[in-house]
Structure 1
Amino acid sequence: MTSTDSIPETAADQTRDRLVLAVLLTASFTLAVDFSILNVALPVIGADVGFTLSTLQWIATSFALCAAGFTLLFGRVADIVGRRRLFLAGIALLGVSSLAGGLATDPVLLLASRVAQGLATAAVTPAALSLLTTAFPEGPRRDRALGLNGALMAAGFTTGAILGGVVTDLLSWRWAFFINVVVAVLVLAVAPFVLAESRPARRPRLDVPGAATVTAGLLAVVFGLTSAGEHSWIDARAWGGLLTGVVLLAAFWMIEHRVEAPLVPVRILRGRGVAWGHVAGVVAFATETSLVFLLTLYLQEVLGYTPLAAGLSFAVLGVGTVLGGVLGPKVIASSGSAPRALALGLAVQAAATVVLILLGSSSGGVLLLLAATFAGGVANLVAIVGFMVTVTAGLPDEEQGIAAGLATMSQQIGITLGIPVMSAVVGAVLVAPGGSPGGSPGEAAGDILTAVRTAIGVNAALCVLTAIAVAVFLRQPRRVRARRG
């Protein structure tokens, strides 16, 4: 008896796969774009809507808090009420909230729309991922689907930075919201006819105490990380939020040991693949998103690029991430397991990152930047595909929603964690003895270059250490193409 991996796909299977992928990947790409599309436009939005400089960051923070804080809860809700139902509800909420954001003329309405967009992201992302993993059997078909999903999500972050600048310059920042409305209408028109409902035959109960503590804990952690990036790691909001989050997450862990129907079964959390896989996933997302931040500082503060020119410089990174998503399943197949591909991807990403320490104060280093970010983008997506396959493998369909919620949570935490950590490194170098943040423009640029180089070294070191940890502690047997029953 052969496994589903060895059963050839029929023409009907291929057509179905393409339709399911088109709907789910369109949604995932759009949500990824939302993370970065407003960054370039924030000063313009603040001036038009009435935000002060000190409150402007809440346009991004309110979205990130909800997107990360509620993702695990909605991953479980997807298992209970149905993944397709939650996916469609989330897309509808995304469309309505984006319309409200595009029409907003005061800060309250705009922030409310960003909160709703974050909730929509927290609902749609794990629902879409679990629909993907339940629609495709474990093996090459699922690996290919997850590879494309990872590629488009990573490309979405880069595309958002570019698209935000283009839309703001040529049209209006409001179109950064209105684009979502168009996508939501198209997805809602097609998805009900393409996606099959997916939920357990026996509906599990919702662990309310666990849901409350983990959601509040994640909100506190994300708030603490965001505060650290905006202020400093010694700011009371930063360490207070992190400490509160740790206490609440510890309470969540204790609750999950005691309740009859836990939000996250403890056996899933104890699995070696889950633990090390999620650590590696957080590092993969944190290092690459924070590297974009560091290189943006380099391009704008050292080389004097405009925000739009800096955004366009990352187009080659977007191409690399798409290629990496396509190559990820092939690397898994050739290496024999997802953890091996995960470790290899992080190792190559480290090599591509560390050469960026050679960047100098002249524009002659841009070619090195483009080549290194392309190679790093390919490697990062190989690692992300390896992460996604690792943490969703070996689980029954009825637990794919919570597995997708955990994977999405790691993604959101990584994206939120990376920039504050690298900002802290940059800040520490700039205030160290010998720095001259108040000196002449040339001296200030030199100090920033030194700080960016130091942070790039830390970034590469994190990739190396995580690759070693995965290779040593996360070992799985090589996948076989066929098994005897």
Structure 2
Amino acid sequence: MLTLGSRMLGPRARRWALAIAGRPTYGVRMTTVAAGQKTGRVLVVILLAQFIIVVDSTFMNVSLSTLVADFDTTVTGIQNAITLYTLVMAAFMIAGAKVGDIIGRKRAFVIGLTVYSVGTTTTALSPSLGVFILGWSILEGLGAAMMLPAMMSLIVSNFPAGPARAKAYAGFAAIAGIAAGIGPIIGGLFTSYLSWRLAFASELLVALYIFTQLKIIKDAPFLGRKPRFDWTGFILSSAGLITVVLGIVMASAYGLFVSRVDVEVFGQVVLTAGQISPTVILVSIGLLVLIVFILVERSRDRHHRDTLLDLSLFSIRAVSSGTSVQLLQYLVLTGSIFALSLYVQMELNYSAIQSGLTLLPLSLAVLLSAAVSGRIFSRRFAPRSVILAGFAIIVLGAATMGLLARDATSGTQFILGLALVGFGAGTIASQNQNLIMSSVKPQRSNETSGVINTAQNIGASLGTSLAGALILSVFVLTATSLIDDSAAFTATEQSQLDSAVTEKAQIISDAQLSTAISEYPSDQQEAMIEINAEARQTSLTVVYAGLALAGLLGFGAALRLPRTPPLASTSTRAGSPAKKNED
């Protein structure tokens, strides 16, 4: 009778009936296992996409000297390429999120992956710095700007609310920190034993694998009326962000506050040496444009018109404070990696693999802390407390790096400082994104992801560009001061050397300097090499002091995070964090 009746029941009622009758429900278990395997594969695909995007921002730092030689360019040229990659992502991330709302998140992911694949292929084959920047900085950056917001929404559609989704969020955030941390190792291995070009070619192989797995990913439909694209907001936000970061990038060539050399535009001098730096002008203009963007978006919202960004998101404390945390965390992490990579290659004459191995303590610390924080801390401690602890560790690590830089003669002397910075960054990464995403409703996940990733990439851009700018600015000030105090040069020679250092400031190795000054008397050669080395060491010390200050700012931002229970406990109540914080 039960068997006959169960045929007329729905699948769920039939399983209940079988269970009450004491009959085994193997089908239920097999379905659950199969579903778990499928979501596991989906997570692998999403994490692979996240990995190749983030690793791109750090794995060429250890190849600076190789890229400079291959493209016959300068460190500043390669630094700009690294910075522009994250800048393009930052400038177009919010627009990429909105496009995903309009055309569909899975379709946006596929389009982004296609553009990214074309970009990484172009980069691998690039014959010049210009083509390298086109493929890496622009095409890969644009592809990533489409992919990243969509990926966060695809987590929502492929993982049920509760522990499964919380673990997916945690994995997504942790893999970003891990990729940034181990990027230098990957770059060092490829550059030293194969070729940096094959590093980008390997990304294409990963992308091709992701293409083969697209069928298992369930799309994340936009709930409600599909918005129209806000072109005004897009132009204003992109222009503002690009202008701000480009202004900071130009500090390497011209100075942070006062221009070291004449500024020319189309052959015409617009600012002379000694006047205000173009950095100050461009950053001020960019901030004004962003203020206009905010005012325009508020006006459009009041008139019930579609906006590029729902500014009400920032009324949620987890979002407003969490984005600041994300920005400052990546500023310190990428700044630390770039500054030390530059130092060991130019000061200690390390190869790419030696530079990568020098950064190994940071990489291992990120891996360890992401695992420990995700599995242990999230069960016992509130995310706010964990993030505060992470920034405290970062500040301690950056300060240690600054102290060690003054007299360092080997990369091994930075082990403690690097381990502390890496452990702090991994600890923050395991908590922050999960906290932010659990604080908003699922239908706002795409837009929120765009905000998070914009902050992350602005931080990465600022980390590299500010580190480079500060290094050169301090280098010039220190070098010119040492030249003026040196008895090896006459007053005329001091004036000439001061002008040369100021106008053509570049961080170069002692070997490169020796070649350039081979015609000088031996005593002057020795003096210039000593000045070059001391100025570099002083620059690194000051940079890490600045990064420690950025860590303190991050600690201040984390103080504003909401006091929530541990993420592992809140994740079991589907939707509760979102409702609590959004209300």
With normalisation by structure 2, the TM-score equals 0.73
Mean CA deviation greater in 272-281 or 172-181: 172-181
1:251 is the counterpart of 2:292 = yes
Give the conservation status (yes or no) of the 8 Å contact 1:95–1:184.
Answer: yes
* The one of 15, 20, 30 aligned to 2:52: 30
Equivalent residue runs for 1:34-433 within 5 Å: 34-41=56-63, 44-45=66-67, 59-105=81-127, 109-114=131-136, 115-137=138-160, 140-190=163-213, 192-202=214-224, 203-234=226-257, 235=259, 236-259=277-300, 260-329=305-374, 330-336=376-382, 338-359=383-404, 366-367=411-412, 369-432=414-477
Q: Separation in 2 of the partners of 1:164 and 1:46?
A: 15
8 Å CA contact retained: 1:31, 1:121: yes
Which shifted more, 154-163 or 340-349? Answer: 154-163
Output the aligned Cα RMSD.
Answer: 3.1
How far residue 87 of structure 1 moved from its aligned partner, in angstroms, is 1.0
1:4 alignment counterpart? none
Which has the larger displacement, 59-68 or 382-391? 59-68
Alignment partner for residue 562 of structure 2, among 452, 465, 475? 475
Q: 2:543 aligns with which of 434, 442, 455?
A: 455
Q: Which moved more, 1:419-428 or 1:368-377?
A: 419-428
Contact 1:30 1:180 in 2 (8 A): yes
After superposition, the Cα gap between the structure-2 partners of 1:25 and 1:217, relative to the gap in structure 1 and judged at 3 Å, is same
1:5 maps to which residue? none
Q: How far did 1:60 drift?
A: 3.4
What is the deviation of 1:226?
1.9
What is the alpha-carbon distance in structure 2 between the residues aligned to residue 440 and residue 54 of structure 1? 22
Offset of 1:209 from its aligned partner? 1.5
User: Rg bigger for which structure?
Assistant: 2
Flag structure 1 segments of 5+ consecutive residues without an equivalent: 1-7
Amino acid paired to 1:333: R
| Residues 249 and 466 in structure 2, CA contact (< 8 A), matched pair in contact too | no
Query: For residues 458 and 171 of structure 1, do their structure 2 counterparts lie closer, same or farther at Cα, with a shift above 3 Å needed?
Result: closer
Amino acid in structure 2 at the alignment position of 1:155: I
Amino-acid identity (%)? 23
In structure 1, distance between residues paired with 2:160 and 2:281: 44
After TM superposition, give the deviation of residue 109 of structure 1 in Å: 4.2
TM superposition score normalised by structure 1: 0.87
Any stretches of 5+ residues in structure 2 without a counterpart?
1-28, 260-276, 484-496, 498-526, 577-583
Cα distance, 1:19 vs structure 2? 0.8
| Residues 41-64 of structure 1: CA deviation (Å, up to 9, x unaligned) | 456556656768875555435433
Shift in Å, 1:413: 0.5
* Cα distance in structure 2, aligned partners of 1:406 and 1:180: 25
Offset from partner CA, 1:142-172 (integer Å, 9 cap, x none): 4432333233323323443333333233333
**Residues 403/217 of structure 1: CA separation in 2 closer, same or farther (3 Å cut):** same
C-alpha contact 2:402 2:545 (8 A) present in aligned 1:
yes
What is the number of equivalent residue pairs in this alignment?
A: 475
Letter in 1 for 2:554: T
Q: Which amino acid aligns with 1:312?
A: L
Q: Do 1:79 and 1:398's aligned partners in 2 also have CA atoms closer than 8 Å? A: no
Change in 2 beyond 3 A, CA 1:52/1:413: closer
2: CA distance, partners of 1:428 / 1:261 = 44
Contact 1:76–1:263 (CA under 8 A) maintained in structure 2: yes
Between 76-85 and 454-463, the greater mean CA deviation after superposition: 454-463
Q: Which SS does the other structure have where 2:364 is aligned?
A: helix
What is the distance in 1 between the residues matched to 2:252 and 2:166? 35
Inter-partner Cα distance in structure 2 for 1:231 and 1:146: 41
* Structure 2 SS opposite 1:476: coil
1:83, distance to aligned residue in structure 2 (A): 1.5
